[in-house]
Amino acid sequence: MQYEWQYSEQQGRHQWMLRRNCVLTPVQLGGWFLSLALVSLGIAVAFAAHGAWLVVPFAVVEIGVLGLAFVLYARHAGDYERIVAEPGRLMVEACRGDAVQVLQCAPSWVRVEYEPRARGPIRLVAGQQKIPVGSLVPDHRRAALAQQLRGALCGG
């Protein structure tokens, strides 16, 4: 799976936009699903017309499973993490499925937790609030992201 990592810095304002690089839009995905479903049903109907009617229920099950897979893919295709660090303010917005988690606080209150050997997420901790970030970044690039976050939060 490909990931998109955009970083920008302007006048002390650091911004990261992390997301999956999805090739198909939801409309295109729906079009592909519809075309695959029609081909599968067409083949099943052709077999049923020749007496192999048991093919039809299996085609319907196949289309149902394929539809479920497409729905699960589409649900997380729009996941993203946006991190904005500027003097006096840190804003983290993490969207996973239908849930959006937002953290806003002073950068001086935040610490970056990351253990490279555990391959776990990077955690931004501010008091009792913890937001995992970097789940949309490949494992080999998480250390670089954690380093950039630490530098930005320290005013670098």
CATH number at residue 130: 2.30.29
Tell me, what's the pLDDT at 155?
65
Indicate the SS3 state at residue 120: coil
H or E element: which one contains 19? strand 13-20
Tell me, yes or no, if the pTM score tops 0.75.
Answer: no
- Does position 77 have pLDDT exceeding 90, yes or no? no
Question: Residues 17, 37: one domain?
Answer: no
- Does position 17 have pLDDT exceeding 70, yes or no? yes
Q: Do the beta carbons of residue 52 and residue 107 sit within 8 Å?
A: no
Provide CB contacts within 8 A for 24, sequence distance 6+.
32, 77
Assigned token pair, 127: 């008091």
Question: Residues 127, 86: one domain?
Answer: yes
Best CA proximity match to 100, nearest among 125, 84, 81:
81
Question: Residues 120, 67: one domain?
Answer: no
Indicate the SS3 state at residue 96: strand
Question: Residues 85, 126: one domain?
Answer: yes
Question: Residues 59, 127: one domain?
Answer: no
Question: Residues 42, 105: one domain?
Answer: no
Distance CA(16)–CA(85), nearest Å, equals 9
- Does position 156 have pLDDT exceeding 60, yes or no? no
Question: Residues 13, 86: one domain?
Answer: yes
Assigned token pair, 76: 């997380």
Domain residues for 40? 26-77
Give all strands (DSSP E) within 27-109, no chain letters: 80-86, 89-96, 99-105
Average pLDDT for residues 4-12, to the nearest whole number?
76
What percent of the chain has a predicted confidence (pLDDT) above 90?
A: 25
- Total count of domains within the chain: 2
